[in-house]
Structure 1
Amino acid sequence: MSIPFLQHIWIWTWIANLTLASTSTYTIPPTSPTTAATLDPAPIGLSYEFFTFPSYRTNVTATPQCEKNLAAAYAGTYPPIRIGGTTQDRADYDPNLSAYVTYSVASDKDAPKTLKYGPRFFDLAGGYEGRVVLGLNRGHNDVGNTVEAAKKAKGVMGNLVGVEMGNEPEYFKSDGQAIAKGTWNAATDAASQANWQMQVGKAIGNLIQASNSLQSPPQWGAEQLLNAQNSTALGYIKTFSHHNYPGGSIQSLMSHANVVKNVNSFKSDVAAARKAGKEYVFGETNSATGGGAASVSPSFGAALWVASISLRATSSSISRLYFHHGTIGACQYCWFGRYSMGAPYYGAIFAASAFGGGKSIVAIDSGNSAYAAYVIFGADGNPARVALVNSEYFTSGTRGSHVFVLEGLKGESVHVKRLTAQSATSRVDEGSSPTWGGQKFEDGTCKVVGTEVKETVKVEGVRASVSVGSSEAVVVYL
């Protein structure tokens, strides 16, 4: 049976539109534009829950190798770490304690309600090869004990770059913290922080990482704190920090449009901090609160989220992101510890490899589709790498793909390294590990295994077409 002429035209129009929908074109700037954000030498860091920090360093074999892998991706700079979380406000410093930390719990998967730590805690943290932010107690309202701890930390830790006073103070009241007796809200907390900044800052200098709240700004954020500061208190602040746990399903978490919307909600807060001459960081972040969601946080989709939010945040002038690692054995989002290797670690390595040695970054996609594109520029101002993410949700069946057409290229070809897994729901603990350039990270040791694979894509004129499957990401080496 013949197809009517108009129907024939409709079919070819539909096919043409389908083809257009699976392709997008991006022009690579020849040099770093003025709109590009400056890159930290190691934008992706790790946050360790306060009471678990000694155990991560001394009992989890994978910890030093996983950090070393990130350092290699960063061209030699170790990832920054932050030591803190809920238990920093349950911890009191004991200068006579010989152990790193002491506490009692009913189960090894519980977090302690009270704990003590001694000088060896600082010695252990001071031995780390990278920069360290230390979270100290404000909840107990004992500023003398906190000042003593801060002074000791600064004295022995040559890598100390920041000190927090309190973790997520908006929950001090519900947690029964002594400092929150009476009226406790964003305004009273801001006044409290300013007072503590002056007392702790006087003892250790301008090392304060301020705010450290989880609730969305503008309340409990940099803008509100800045309005409560006098020049003395502000002078002791080095960095403003906010916490960020988007949550949701795997599909909603990894959605590029959702990542952009999430990061954009901090735009005003970041601008306020930058205007005051301070850096802005996600001092604690991960896929979902409370150690993660069992059905979401260990997945490959969460790995793509780690990669995506790292790229979007840095391109939005958020200097660093500290991905939280909680109670060992009860931590769904951890990169190592609960599972020998967690899939989200692959997203961190992907983004670190895109950043490695770069000096600036700019987003070149629209921000409202499933497709993300970022250009990283080197010290010479020239484009060095392009990071591409296809956040279309794929679980089974025929895997779709999207073609990123890159224009403004030089040379005859580019190399591509691919982050992939069987699906967005793949999990290492269920026998389905991702690969990064054909390689995996060995369970228990975090050592790289397998042979690296880099694909070659021909440059035709000044254009290269890079195909990225649904729920995949690639780094293009220019």
Structure 2
Amino acid sequence: MEFLIWRSYVTNITPPMQYVYGGETMLGFNRGNHNRTNTYLAVLEAKKRVLSHLWSIELGNEPDVYLWQNKADAVIPWNASQEGADAANWAQGFIDAWKSPSRSSLQAHTPLAIFAERVFMATFVNRSFILGETNFHPYDVGMDEPFGAALATLDKSLHVVTLGIQRLYFHQGTINQGEHIVELDSGNGSYAQYVIYSKGRPTKAVLVNTDYFSGSGVRTKSTIRLNGLVNSRVKAVRMTAASSEVTTNGTASYPIIGGQFFSNVDCSSIGALTYKKTAVTTGKVTITVAASEALLLYL
């Protein structure tokens, strides 16, 4: 069964499904009218309401007649190459809408592995790799607003520097400390470990637990051991919040960095800066980092 759908037809999805009886169904989504917002909303409705029946989708029905029908998506001469490129562009938008990434996936550490290949390819053709959107858009996009997005920015920034990326651009702020950064973890798990070098020696470490914490239930913890330390103790500044969902929107809960938080009025620091000191035994120290937390260690 094939059924064409765009947003105004969403109310008609359920009745046809009653006649499918579990059979394979293909849905066609409107492309010719060039209304991506409308079409992608229909994609989300289809995913929510008919996923168990869905066998395939058609992204744009009969595109060969778009020019004849004066469809907005068709540009003269509207040949096969144009239509193919247009379909590919829409397909990526469809994938993005269908996947609808969660906040937990956005703050995860493992997706950063994609940068290694991209940096390598840029180097291979003698080009610099520049990261133009390193951080998120707080308050502009709800997905980017909470504390978990800040953790992801921290993790991403440190990770890409270890790969040799020449420049990182942010909406606000800059990074200007240390000669180079080394990543200790394999990149395959949730726990990121970075060491910052200055004058040829390790001076700081950053530990990030990218596991998502909603604010309810048990907050998991990871234990990380660092070796080869020369000082008798380390001190740490902890970056934490009550959950990954905490925002700085004027509520009573704020992200905390070393016991301090920032004023919503003038961005000044409120509270006393505190350090957690931990003894080093035979060059080793064990640190605990809870889900959705980060630690800056002074070695």
TM-score interval for Structure 1 and Structure 2 normalised by the shorter chain: 0.5 to 0.7
Question: Which of 291, 294, 297 pairs up with 1:470?
Answer: 291
> Over alpha carbons, which structure has the higher Rg?
2
Question: Which of 159, 183, 190 pairs up with 1:370?
Answer: 190
Structure 2: gaps (5+ residues): 1-71, 73-80, 83-88, 90-98
Greater RCO structure (CA 8 Å; 6+ sep): 1
Work out whether 1:293 is the aligned partner of 2:141. yes
Cα deviation code 1:349-403 (max 9, x no counterpart): 8xx4xxx53001111101000010011100x200011110001111122211111
Tell me the residue number matched to 2:130: 281
Tell me the residue number matched to 1:306: 153
Counting only pairs closer than 5 Å after superposition, residues 433-452 of structure 1 correspond to structure 2 as: 433-452=254-273
> 2:119–2:165: 8 Å Cα contact kept in structure 1?
no
Question: Which of 99, 105, 110 pairs up with 1:257?
Answer: 110
Cα deviation code 1:267-293 (max 9, x no counterpart): 3333236xx3x54321234447x9853
Query: Helix, strand or coil: the match of 1:429?
Result: coil
Distance 2:230 2:295 in 1: 19
Sort the Cα spacing of 1:314 and 1:459 in 2 relative to 1 into closer, same or farther, 3 A: same
Counting only pairs closer than 5 Å after superposition, residues 51-200 of structure 1 correspond to structure 2 as: none
Amino acid at match of 1:250: R
Amino acid at match of 2:104: Q
Tell me the residue number matched to 1:382: 201
Q: CA deviation at 1:323?
A: 2.5
* Two-structure CA RMSD over aligned residues (Å): 3.2
Counting only pairs closer than 5 Å after superposition, residues 390-429 of structure 1 correspond to structure 2 as: 390-395=209-214, 396-429=216-249
Structure 1: gaps (5+ residues): 1-173, 175-183, 186-214, 216-245, 325-334, 336-347
Sort the Cα spacing of 1:291 and 1:425 in 2 relative to 1 into closer, same or farther, 3 A: closer
Distance 2:201 2:118 in 1: 29
TM-score between the two structures when normalised by the length of structure 2: 0.62
- Same amino acid, percent of matched pairs: 33
Distance 1:320 1:440 in 2: 28
> 1:247–1:253: 8 Å Cα contact kept in structure 2?
no
Q: CA deviation at 1:427?
A: 1.0
> 2:250–2:264: 8 Å Cα contact kept in structure 1?
no
Amino acid at match of 2:278: V
Sort the Cα spacing of 1:467 and 1:423 in 2 relative to 1 into closer, same or farther, 3 A: same
State how many pairs are aligned: 208
Amino acid at match of 1:381: G
Amino acid at match of 2:209: N
> 2:139–2:145: 8 Å Cα contact kept in structure 1?
no
Tell me the residue number matched to 1:23: none
Q: CA deviation at 1:430?
A: 5.6
Amino acid at match of 2:219: R
Q: CA deviation at 1:265?
A: 4.5
Tell me the residue number matched to 1:268: 120
Counting only pairs closer than 5 Å after superposition, residues 22-61 of structure 1 correspond to structure 2 as: none
